[in-house]
Structure 1
Amino acid sequence: MDKHVALISGAGRGIGAATAKMLASEGVAVGVLDVLLDEAEAVAQQIRDAGYQALALKCDVGLREDVENAISTVEKEFGPITILVNNAGVGGPFHRVDQVSDDEWEWIMNTNLKSVFLFTRNLLPKMKEQGFGRIVNIASIQGLYGSAHSSTYVASKHGMIGYTKTIAAEWGEHGITCNAICPGYVDTALGVQTDKISDYMQRVLAKSPVKRIAKPEEIAALVRHLVGPHGGYINGSSYVIDGGITSHVGITSDL
């Protein structure tokens, strides 16, 4: 994969960082994007120290100007972008629909969903010209069902999955695939929210058949497969990685 260039949002930590490091280890030149530049630079430096190519950029993924600047900068540094991983996401506060403010709704929707639109709108025509593109959107198992007190997050992830299917249908004939990954609970700042619910982990593990949460590298491994040489016929799919939580009644609606 040493001829590929990847752009990964929210890559300063968690799933994004693990994905950046894993793809870089396959020879992919990686644009490490995050709203926190220090964290993005730390990941990029680790990749460079290992002998691979990486560039860190500050990017508020909900702002068109930031997205366009990130794309053009990575293109100038490494060449045409062939892989896009829309990973940036925020969870937001836990409360009822009638307590959601306009600012909260816009913040979550801009980060989780509008960002996917901004990146793909810019890159899809370029990928079409190249005759190749791999897009992976990091959604959530909460994009598959409703969950009390998480209305905006749930709506954004449902929207991401629907958008993924549409991109797959529109652009597949041009050598471009688009798929979503729906993680369950992952050992990241977003996935382990003990600061909001004191017994969060106990309640999650009680519902998990495997009695643990995922490592970021386990999600990154699926990204690598979907964008790699054996992923070309996988298009418009949504892959659940949750240890079996959604395989039985009850799932997580009361978390």
Structure 2
Amino acid sequence: MDLSNVFSLDSKIALITGASKGIGYSIAEVFAAAGAKVVISSRKQDDLDQLAKILRNKGYEVTGIACNVGKLEDLQNLVEKTVEKYGTIDILVNNAAANPVFGPVHETSSDAFDKIMNVNLKAPFELMKLCLPYLRNSSNASVINISSVGGLSPEVGLGIYSVSKAALISMSKVFAKEWGDYKIRVNVICPGLIKTKFSEALWSNEKIMNSMMKMLPIKRVGEPEEIGIMALFLASNSASYTTGAVLTADGGFTI
């Protein structure tokens, strides 16, 4: 049995949102190292250009395209420019997320609620629809939605964020069932506490960390690369019979 190419993404085109840092950037680097041509996206083109240059200097094929995922016209532009550049899309990773509040759920404003739902749920919904014509033509189409352990069990202080991530899990399962006929796989990763700028309010808080370490079998904060490697499995042919799966990378937090 030849396992040398088991995780290869050679010639695949991958589109990743929220890819200018943290988990998204790590996924982009891992995919590029596996041979994919990668489009990284976030709101600021200058940041993307710098990051794409860094990755290209490592020998990877990476392009940055700015997009505010909360705006439908930006999502349409992102898909159009990706297809204009590379001709198709084989892999979509919905990683961009928003959480403008931390505190009691009843203190969440309507504006914050709308922003969280728009970015964390509606944007993946719209982007998946926009990518469908291209994913259908792929020989190994894969959609990976980045949820959270909060989507499995609500986290205190992250109420509506947790609700949005739970809805993302459910929506991913719906797409997995309906898109099976198109040979498009749709899976979910639920990270636990990962050391990123996005989660800094948690891992930089000594009280929260002390509480977390008492609950974690693996007593440390996770690294973005550990999510990147899990995403590589789901994107590759190694996961060719895996769809609708919800995988956790949380140090055992949800056991």
Report if TM-score (shorter chain) is over 0.5: yes
User: Does 2:149 align with 1:141?
Assistant: yes
Quick one: which of 207, 220, 224 aligns to 1:216?
224
Q: Give the Cα separation in 1 of the matches to 2:140 and 2:204.
A: 42
Q: Which residue of 1 aligns with 2:69?
A: 61
Q: Give the Cα separation in 2 of the matches to 1:225 and 1:166.
A: 21
Residue correspondence of structure 1 range 80-159 to structure 2 within 5 A: 80-130=88-138, 132-159=140-167
User: Does 2:1 align with 1:17?
Assistant: no
Quick one: which of 168, 191, 196 aligns to 2:199?
191
Quick one: which of 205, 214, 233 aligns to 2:241?
233
Which runs of structure 1 show a deviation greater than 4 angstroms over 4 or more consecutive aligned residues? 194-198
Q: Give the Cα separation in 2 of the matches to 1:53 and 1:92.
A: 33
Q: What count of residue pairs does the alignment treat as equivalent?
A: 247
Q: Which residue of 2 aligns with 1:251?
A: none
Deviation at 1:109, TM superposition (A): 1.1
Measured on the aligned residues, the alpha-carbon RMSD in Å equals: 1.6
Whichever residue aligns with residue 185 of structure 2, its letter is T
List per-residue Cα deviations over 1:67-119 (Å, max 9, x = no partner).
11011111111120000000111233122232111110111111111111111
List per-residue Cα deviations over 1:171-219 (Å, max 9, x = no partner).
1121100000001000101223159845333332232111101110000
In structure 2, the CA distance between the partners of 1:119 and 1:106, relative to structure 1 (3 Å rule), is same
Q: Give the Cα separation in 2 of the matches to 1:205 and 1:41.
A: 38
Quick one: which of 48, 52, 72 aligns to 1:44?
52
Pick which of 38-47 and 72-81 moved more.
Answer: 38-47
Q: Give the Cα separation in 1 of the matches to 2:87 and 2:162.
A: 35
Q: Give the Cα separation in 1 of the matches to 2:59 and 2:205.
A: 41
Unaligned runs of 5+ in 1: 248-255
Provide TM-score, normalisation by structure 1: 0.92
Whichever residue aligns with residue 128 of structure 2, its letter is T
List per-residue Cα deviations over 1:30-54 (Å, max 9, x = no partner).
1110113333223211211111211
Q: Give the Cα separation in 2 of the matches to 1:142 and 1:38.
A: 32
Q: Which residue of 2 aligns with 1:250?
A: none
Q: Which residue of 1 aligns with 2:174?
A: 166
Q: Is the 2:147–2:188 contact (alpha carbons within 8 Å) kept by the matching residues of 1?
A: yes
Provide TM-score, normalisation by structure 2: 0.92
Q: Is the 1:185–1:192 contact (alpha carbons within 8 Å) kept by the matching residues of 2?
A: no
Q: Give the Cα separation in 2 of the matches to 1:155 and 1:105.
A: 10
Q: Is the 1:141–1:242 contact (alpha carbons within 8 Å) kept by the matching residues of 2?
A: yes
Q: Is the 1:13–1:39 contact (alpha carbons within 8 Å) kept by the matching residues of 2?
A: no
Pick which of 186-195 and 137-146 moved more.
Answer: 186-195
Whichever residue aligns with residue 99 of structure 1, its letter is E
Pick which of 107-116 and 146-155 moved more.
Answer: 146-155
Q: Give the Cα separation in 2 of the matches to 1:122 and 1:64.
A: 10
User: Does 2:245 align with 1:245?
Assistant: no
Whichever residue aligns with residue 229 of structure 1, its letter is N
List per-residue Cα deviations over 1:219-251 (Å, max 9, x = no partner).
00010011112111000010011111111xxxx
Q: Give the Cα separation in 1 of the matches to 2:85 and 2:252.
A: 41
User: Does 2:81 align with 1:78?
Assistant: no
Identity of aligned residues (%): 33
Unaligned runs of 5+ in 2: 1-8
